[in-house]
Amino acid sequence: MTRKMRCGLGTGLVLVAVAGVIAIHHAGILQAAPPFGQSEDLAYASKLWQALEHNDLVGDHAIFAMPYTAGVHQKVLMMLGRKIEVDGHTGTVLVKKMYQGEDISVEKVINNPQRNLAIVAVMFQRQAGYDPDHHNWFYVRFDNEGKPTAPMGVPFAGRVPKCISCHQAAPGNDFIYSFTR
């Protein structure tokens, strides 16, 4: 009887030890996870895309702004900005639509805004505390159907270092290049 109990206790201790190792290992993975492209970022990106549709910033009935050519490659841009509500928080959203394709031109975009729309780059200013060192912007690089793209493997949605590092250099220290607020 005593022997059996001791044996049981021993197994229990081993189990606790194994659980500890798994927990430490798991914490290690969490620590190493990038601050973007995680399931909560993708869930938020999906809500953001719905809000963009709801506010006619994307989709067939989207508000139209004057497109313009950007220097590099064959690329036409269109920029939109306003305040929208996402998940109970109202904040500024900035939308940069990027039209690509060999023969892309401003005329083509005007004639058919949905065609050749390649990328919808979005910045949404979330609540204070989301990313206090970088003005709380949430970044997403959507394809034309609202799916975050993953040019480097991890979906670009959230506190994306690549977006932040370049926008940090924008004049006015507000992370915004083309709008003055």
Q: Rank residues 58 and 121 by Cβ distance to ligand HEC and give the closer one.
A: 121
User: Whole-angstrom distance between the N-terminal and C-terminal Cα of the chain?
Assistant: 78
User: Footprint of ligand HEC on this chain (CB under 6 A)?
Assistant: 70, 77, 79, 94-96, 121-123, 139-141, 156, 160, 162-163, 166-167, 170, 176-179
Q: Rank residues 3 and 93 by Cβ distance to ligand HEC and give the closer one.
A: 93
For the bound state, the minimum distance from the C-beta of residue 55 to ligand HEC, rounded and expressed in Å, comes to 15
For the bound state, the minimum distance from the C-beta of residue 122 to ligand HEC, rounded and expressed in Å, comes to 5
- Is residue 126 a contact partner of residue 133, using CB atoms and an 8 Å limit? no
Report how far apart, in Å, the C-alpha atoms of 157 and of each of 143, 147, 171 are. 12, 10, 23
For the bound state, the minimum distance from the C-beta of residue 165 to ligand HEC, rounded and expressed in Å, comes to 7
Q: What is the CA radius of gyration of the chain?
A: 23
List the one residue out of 119, 56, 49, 132 whose CA is nearest residue 86.
49
C-alpha–C-alpha distance, residues 17 and 9, integer Å: 12
For the bound state, the minimum distance from the C-beta of residue 37 to ligand HEC, rounded and expressed in Å, comes to 11
Q: Rank residues 81 and 113 by Cβ distance to ligand HEC and give the closer one.
A: 81
Q: Rank residues 26 and 143 by Cβ distance to ligand HEC and give the closer one.
A: 143
Cα-based angle 158, 156, 122 (whole degrees, multiple of 5): 70
Contacts of 33 (CB under 8 A, 6+ apart): none
Q: Rank residues 19 and 70 by Cβ distance to ligand HEC and give the closer one.
A: 70
- Is residue 87 a contact partner of residue 80, using CB atoms and an 8 Å limit? no
For the bound state, the minimum distance from the C-beta of residue 162 to ligand HEC, rounded and expressed in Å, comes to 5
